[in-house]
Chain A
Amino acid sequence: MKAGAFDYVRPQSLAEAIQLRGGGRDTQLMAGGQSLVAMMNLRVAQPELVIDIGRLSELRTVSETGADVSLGACVTHAAIEDGRITDPSRGLMPRVASGLAYRAIRTRGTIGGSLALADPAAEWPTVLSALDAQVALRGSGGARALPCRDFVVGTYETRLVADEIVESIRVPKLSAAARWGYLKFCRKSGEFASSIVAVVRDPQRRYARAVLGAANGAPLVLVRTSELLAGAAQREVLETAIAADLDAAKDRRFDDFQRSLHAVIAQRAVQQALA
């Protein structure tokens, strides 16, 4: 299981990386490499040129305003786990990070890399959607920002176009009244989940969102459930809403087991957020 041959370049700036990305060769960006190198070792990814952006300081900055925290795309899961970056999520992000794969993966893997890969069983796309985060993209055509909720559109599919690179992720700060729930269902510590639910409820902003991950595609916002959570809903009503949201997602083709599992995990995550 050795990778096929490829060329390697380490650009000195984000602008240079964008140029290389748009240069016409079959390229892959490498941030932490924890997913890419595994795929290359298995020869399911065989780029001509690997563009190593993992050391670009432009992608590792962290900045803070009164309302939000911006993390560079190449901030590692371990940095978030260890609390080395200001946490806008009142403990949710460090909690998510600490359960992601294994420590030796977390020291290299990055939040931007995870979002850009859009593995259906990955944690960050689901959690960042629940947190109403924004992703900043930069390409040769300029910079733009999208809600994370809209960024991932399918299995390994995002709204990145042409030579765009994920630059940073801006997470609104949760108020002191905010509560969250987070559950990842897996049989073995660190493996890919069969169901992920992230629920964020911030009464001060009248904001609530419940998102389902490992949902056979992009993270699925549980719309009806989220609407009810923004108010003051009772348990049974929420359970019905969860069921309705899952039933409405016919294109996801959940089998019986997935359907019942997602419902249970969503119910439990919602209860966490209401506790």
Chain B
Amino acid sequence: MTAAVKSRFGVGASLQRKEDDRHLYGRGQFVADVKLPGLQDIAFVRSPHAHARIKGVSAPPDTAGQVFSARDLPDLKPMRAVPQVPGFRPSGYPAFATDKVRYVGEVIAACIAPTRAEAEDLAATVGVDYEVLPPVVDAAAAAKGSSVLVHESWADNLFIERTIQGGDIEVAKREAEIVVQREYKLHRQASVPLEGRGVLAYLDRRLDELVVYTSTQVPHTIRLGLSEMLGIEERRIRVIAPDVGGGFGGKARLSQEEVAVAALALAVDHPVRWIEDRSEHFLAAIHCREHLYRMTAYADRRGRILGLDAELVVDAGAYAMWPNGPFLETGMAARNLPGPYNIRHHRVKTFTVATNKSPIGPYRGVGRPGACFAIERMIDEVARAAGRDPLEVRVGNMVGPDQMPYKSVTGMTFDNGDYPQCARMCADLLDLPAVRARQKQGEPDGRLIGVGFAAYAEQTAHGCGEWVTRGAPFIPGYESCQARLMSDGSLVLMVGIQSHGQGLETTLSQVAHQELGIDPAKVSVRHGDTDIAPFGMGTIASRSMVMAGGAVARASRLLREKMLRIGAHLLQADPKDVRWEDGAVAGPSGTVRLEEIARIAHLRMEQLPDGVDPLLEVTATYEPAIDTGVFSYATHAAVVAVDPLTGLIEVLDYGVAEDCGTVVNPMIVDGQIRGGVIQGIGTALYEEIPYDDQGQPLAATFADYLMPGAAEMPAIKIAHLHTPTPYTEYGMKGMGEGGAIGPPAAIANAVRDALGPLGAELNETPMTPRRVLAAIRTARKRT
């Protein structure tokens, strides 16, 4: 837990990425790039109905051995996500639908053929006899009760109904001088990594091991799940995540397809593969973001918020994804609703609703983009009611640096930081006075200018206690590293996380350099392969740099200690007279380098001191010194131009002031912020999967589902504060998700500011031209 020392290769260096070369030369290896003799392709038969009973599945007689459905794999167990949350209703989610299908896209059968095209031909010949049932599509209505049940053994369509509260909301109600009530809705979307999902599996007969390549963020968790569903010991399953083309949370759950392909690999005599196509991704990969908040804020006349009373409906789709289930998202949204503010009374009634839509899973920020949208819009409305500037009211409500560590009303402990200073830095980034001047002047093209802010605190690298509180069935409170120094002094770090764009092959090498002085170019980071890496919890929840970085640091120091003992012996010096310096043991009589010590430890054991065994290999785990997480935080600001006649919104400028403690690689951190922000802009303005009243998803290609492109991306100005946390190695915090948390709120507040003269508000994402014009029309009708 030492402060970071700046060096060219260590913590704090913007080292160029080691992973770049293979991708720049087109020599990356994603699942679809893996070639094996005899490989055949799978196409799935998927439900075209949102809700239906399956009366029968039939395939032409000459397709025996090529078409598989549930009855062909009777020993396959359904996935059952059972979080340890009282009142949560488990549901079985089979890899192949049995008696019922519950969303459009659900897997019913698999067809195997030499090519994907032929497998699709085969899938078209499979007949399924359906009894179509009415679908549950409106989560808010279903929360109140419905005659149609998604899971017939349940009394209603609620995975769980739970109230999260702290303080006493009645006190807030009594003392309030300002009361603001609003409804906020975020529509459904998908995670859309550019590489879709993919699974390739085969039985390795030499090792008696089922090998499963899958585009996943959590290889050990997948192995655990496959072991359970297939009934095979973990030692006989190998999961490999090769290069993964983006995950963002959507590849951190066990899928029907992973279980199905693994099972099929055991049923046939050759490797099999399924590569998700884009339409399948929109139908059947995890969905996210669909939240509805009905909220009341109680404040004093200056806009200090006394309490929040809210109802939150999360449309969770048809099944609980394994292992965690959907309440993870609901709980997170409810607990983050107070934002980074000193609010002492809080009540959120939550409804996690089962509907006939694709199951939800985590997507960058998870519950927080929704919570941030709700509280940040609310702050602006409270400010308006108080007749004060929204930024001032925001800062006035913030937890101050003198209140740290601060335990929130929802039980989260903010460790350190200066939220108000960060907010002011953000305003400076955008030159607020200049924006206000431009706003006053008016635009020649008639567009309206607005500026809006959003602030948040992002819980990262939370440990054991926090996950237990959340009821997670598996506790990702630690990470692991096996560090192996080779006889030539090069180093292999085997880690349980999985890098899919975050640059961990580089940053973990930087940590090794920090502890050992070894050149990062001499370090290999091996991740994603369960045969190589010690058990780990994968890359999720903004945890990897802290957790895996901590494990690497710890393992490196263990190696260093052993090398100091060996070096002292070789230098014939007293162990207390030697120190580690620039990759060598330095003593009064000279130095001996790491490479020499490594050679001796492997090849010349007679030179080792008594009591010291050969090899230089250790396995270490790491947990931060605090369970409740280390909190990055930021304020975002957006400047927009709104065309009041067409409803088109252009983001003219965007600023992020943030603090993630000690930064290991500034270039990579800024890259994560930018990437997160554009995903947030996607949520704010473009991305949506609407459903019709028959439960049919209405966006299944990029023609209907819009992704922000280079021409839509504003310049993003970034400023940093650095408040190292005392609880992690080097004082670092996670930050991977934060960029995606702020934009919907910041942009909505900017639009509110722009349309202020018209009295119009947007409280729904994405803020499409259609919705903007509708909001303006609504406001006009009121006046």
Contacts and interface: CB of A to CB of B under 8 A. Distances in A.
Contact between chain A and chain B defined by CB under 8 Å:
yes
B768 interface: yes
Nearest to A46: B124
Given A185-B646, A188-B712, A261-B646, A1 B278 contact: yes
Interface stretch (B113-121, B288-296, B371-379, B670-678): B113-121
Contacts of A2: 115-117, 120
Interface in B671-706: 685-686, 701, 703, 706
B712 A189 contact: yes
Nearest to A41: B277
A188 B646 contact: no
Contact of A188 (B121, B278, B645, B706): B706
Contacts of B774: 257
B769 A261 contact: yes
Chain A interface category by residue count: 20 to 34
A4 B122 CA distance: 11
Output the residue of A43, A189, A257, A261 with the most chain B CB within 10 A: A257
B306 interface: no
B279 A187 contact: no
A91 interface: no
Nearest to B707: A188
Nearest to A255: B770
B706 A187 contact: yes
B646 A264 contact: yes
A42 interface: yes
Interface string B85-115: 0000000000000000000000000000001
Nearest to B120: A2
Nearest to B644: A264
B277 A187 contact: no
Contact of B769 (A3, A5, A187, A192): A187
B261 interface: no
Contacts of B769: 187, 194, 257, 261
B699 to A, nearest CB: 13
A190 interface: yes
Contact of A42 (B645, B646, B701): B701
Contacts of A137: none
Contact of A187 (B115, B278, B768): B768
What is the interface of chain A mostly: helix, strand, loop, or mixed? loop
A257 B769 CA distance: 9
A191 interface: yes
Interface in A174-230: 185, 187-192, 194
B648 A187 contact: yes
Contacts of B124: 4
Interface string B703-738: 100111101100000000000000000000000000
A111 interface: no
Interface in B754-773: 768-770, 773
A250 to B, nearest CB: 21
Interface string A1-15: 111110000000000
Contacts of B645: 260, 264
A265 interface: yes
A191 B685 CA distance: 15
Contacts of B116: 2
Nearest to A1: B277
Given A185-B648, A264-B646, A42 B279 contact: yes
Nearest to A3: B117
B686 A188 contact: yes
A260 B708 CA distance: 25
Output the residue of A2, A4, A187, A265 with the most chain B CB within 10 A: A187
Contacts of A5: 117, 121
A187 B767 CA distance: 11
B646 A265 contact: yes
A1 B279 contact: yes
Interface residues of B, number: 29
Contacts of A190: 709
Nearest to A192: B703
Given A1-B278, A257-B770, A260-B773, A187 B117 contact: no
A253 to B, nearest CB: 16
A61 B711 CA distance: 34
Interface string B572-598: 000000000000000000000000000
A4 B703 CA distance: 21
Interface string B622-652: 0000000000000000000000011110000
B708 A4 contact: no
A265 B645 CA distance: 9
A218 to B, nearest CB: 20
Nearest to A121: B703
A216 to B, nearest CB: 15
Contacts of B770: 257
B45 to A, nearest CB: 14
Nearest to A43: B120
Nearest to A4: B121
Interface in A68-116: none
Contacts of B646: 185, 261, 264-265
A5 B119 CA distance: 12
Contacts of B707: 188
Nearest to A264: B645
Given A5-B121, A257-B773, A265-B646, A191 B706 contact: yes
Output the residue of B124, B646, B770, B773 with the most chain A CB within 10 A: B646
B346 to A, nearest CB: 37
A189 B709 contact: yes
Contacts of B648: 185, 187
A188 B708 contact: yes
A215 B707 CA distance: 24
Nearest to B643: A264
Contacts of B703: 191-192
A258 to B, nearest CB: 9
A3 B124 CA distance: 12
A264 B646 CA distance: 7
Contacts of A265: 646
A41 B706 CA distance: 20
Interface in B266-281: 277-279
A191 B712 CA distance: 12
Contacts of A192: 703
Contacts of B708: 188
A195 to B, nearest CB: 8
A264 B647 CA distance: 11
Contacts of B279: 1, 42
B475 to A, nearest CB: 39
Contacts of A185: 646, 648
Contacts of A256: 773, 777
Contacts of A3: 117
Interface in B644-672: 645-648
Nearest to B777: A256
A187 B121 contact: no
Contacts of B768: 187
A43 B124 CA distance: 11
A39 to B, nearest CB: 11
B419 to A, nearest CB: 34
Output the residue of A1, A4, A43, A261 with the most chain B CB within 10 A: A1
Interface string A156-190: 00000000000000000000000000000101111
Given A1-B120, A4-B121, A188-B712, 17 more contacts: A2-B115, A2-B117, A3-B117, A42-B279, A185-B648, A187-B685, A187-B706, A187-B768, A190-B709, A191-B703, A194-B769, A256-B777, A257-B647, A260-B645, A260-B773, A261-B769, A265-B646
Interface of A: 1-5, 42-43, 185, 187-192, 194, 256-257, 260-261, 264-265
17 contacts: A1-B279, A2-B116, A2-B117, A2-B120, A3-B117, A4-B120, A4-B121, A4-B124, A5-B117, A187-B685, A187-B769, A188-B709, A257-B774, A261-B646, A261-B769, A264-B645, A265-B646
Which 6 A/B pairs are nearest by Cβ-Cβ distance?
Answer: A2-B117, A189-B711, A1-B277, A264-B645, A257-B770, A188-B706
